[in-house]
Amino acid sequence: MRLAGTIFTNVTKMLDFYSQFNPSPLSIKQFIDFGLNACERKSYLFLRKELPVRLANIMKEIALLPENLLRMPSVGLVNQWYERSFEEIIQFEKMEPEPTVLTQFCQRLVHIRNRHADVVQTMAQGVLELKESHEVDTGTENSIQYFLDRFYMSRISIRMLINQHTLLFGEQLGAKQASLNGIGNGGRHIGSIDPACDIAAVVRDAYENARFLCDRYYLASPELELLQNGVPSGRPMPVVYVPSHLYHMLFELFKNAMRAVMESHEGSPPPIQVNLVLGREDVSVKMSDRGGGIPRSVTDLLFKYMYSTAPQPSKSDSHTVPLAGYGYGLPISRLYARYFHGDLVLMSCEGYGTDAVIYLKALSNEANELLPIFNRTSSKFYRPVPQIADWSGSLNTATISQCKNKDKNKDNMSPSVSHTL
């Protein structure tokens, strides 16, 4: 207790210090080169600076949140986790990379990853607490959307770094060997990256698991029609990617598509079509359903955290509403796509069905991390100024505020590779 004041000022100082640095985005190619060539010492020296930088950058933004959101118990809890983890990492600042330190560092990373396991759910709870206790205006809603995109993106990136280090170097017993061998995956994984990730296989896997839930709830399910360049093909389509990220996106999209199809058809449900296309710049995965679609005004709302926030079905209900689409499935799936400079877009034709497209970068050296950077420009989004319309019609329509969010999502993120077109 006696030291509390000292620790407080010290950590505050360290936060100020580390938040001055911009995060260093890595490309998938760099992750792979690093995984193949770098030693644990080098990884340690990089992470003991990069992790505090990424933590500090996002913690500075947490501090800028609307005050009534910051006061919500769940948000306070998340904030505490970040403070604790930041403190735990900067303890390594001056520790030489000796074997005992390296082991301790690995264990610390695992501990931190576990501590942050429920961040998404807890933050959603915080937003729910705010909605239930306060009237939320459009300005606040936009700030929260802006923040959560950056906050969850930061989390994805920090977990990626931790996963790579612990998979490559953790748990003594030849962890590097095990992760490089990628048990059951043809021995090619580099941490969480598969240099020959078969998109077709991940599509089938996500489909089967979503179908299992669909069958249980609706007692039927739509078939999958898997195409490559528009024609049926049994051949694999390999890309350099993180299979778990791709799976996450596809599973979410399959659940949505199945729900829409089953809710709009009494008899035999029309199949869900997935078309895989490999271009020079993009890999595109297009999922088309005939589930009746949604109006354009709703498409945008599906990516909004405030709109998607609903009380979680209780654990005992969860088996009866497997495709309910609670939570942040779509907005977070889109962040996974954008994390390596891809995207996820929905195009719906109300009255017919929905197309969802996942875009990935075809080249691993162009697949750079997209990271939020804390600076003066980013902080201005937390003090929304009253908006004056410069187009006729209400400013509060979903369409217009989504347009603004689209621009915002692109601002203050780490720069992308510039293309000469």
Residues that bind ligand P4A (CB under 6 A): 253, 256-257, 259-260, 289, 291-294, 302, 325, 346, 354, 356
Catalytic residue among 248, 286, 341, 361: 248
Any catalytic annotation for residue 256? yes
Minimum distance of ligand P4A from residue 39's CB (angstroms): 43
Cβ atoms of 242 and 182 within 8 Å: the answer is: no
What does the alpha-carbon distance between residue 273 and residue 271 come to, in Å, rounded to a whole number? 6
Residue with tokens 């720069």: 415
Catalytic residue among 189, 245, 255, 341: 255
**Structure tokens that stand for 412 in this block:** 């203050």
- Strand order of the β-sheet with 231-232 is 231-232, 224-228, 272-278, 282-289, 353-361, 343-349
27 or 354, CB closer to ligand P4A? 354
According to DSSP, the β-strands at 224-228 and 231-232 are antiparallel
In angstroms, the Cα distances linking 144 to 64, 135, 273, 337, 394 are: 11, 14, 35, 20, 21
What does the alpha-carbon distance between residue 159 and residue 153 come to, in Å, rounded to a whole number? 10
139 or 325, CB closer to ligand P4A? 325
Cβ atoms of 348 and 296 within 8 Å: the answer is: yes
In angstroms, the Cα distances linking 38 to 35, 102, 127, 161, 353 are: 6, 14, 41, 14, 48
**Structure tokens that stand for 348 in this block:** 């719906």
354 or 409, CB closer to ligand P4A? 354
State the residue number with the nearest CB to ligand P4A.
Answer: 325
Minimum distance of ligand P4A from residue 355's CB (angstroms): 8
Minimum distance of ligand P4A from residue 263's CB (angstroms): 6
Catalytic residue among 189, 252, 341, 361: 252
What does the alpha-carbon distance between residue 320 and residue 314 come to, in Å, rounded to a whole number? 10
Any catalytic annotation for residue 245? no
Catalytic residue among 57, 142, 163, 256: 256
10 or 399, CB closer to ligand P4A? 399
141 or 289, CB closer to ligand P4A? 289
What does the alpha-carbon distance between residue 210 and residue 76 come to, in Å, rounded to a whole number? 35
Any catalytic annotation for residue 255? yes
158 or 257, CB closer to ligand P4A? 257
Minimum distance of ligand P4A from residue 231's CB (angstroms): 23
Minimum distance of ligand P4A from residue 342's CB (angstroms): 16
Q: Which residues are catalytic?
A: 248, 252, 255-256
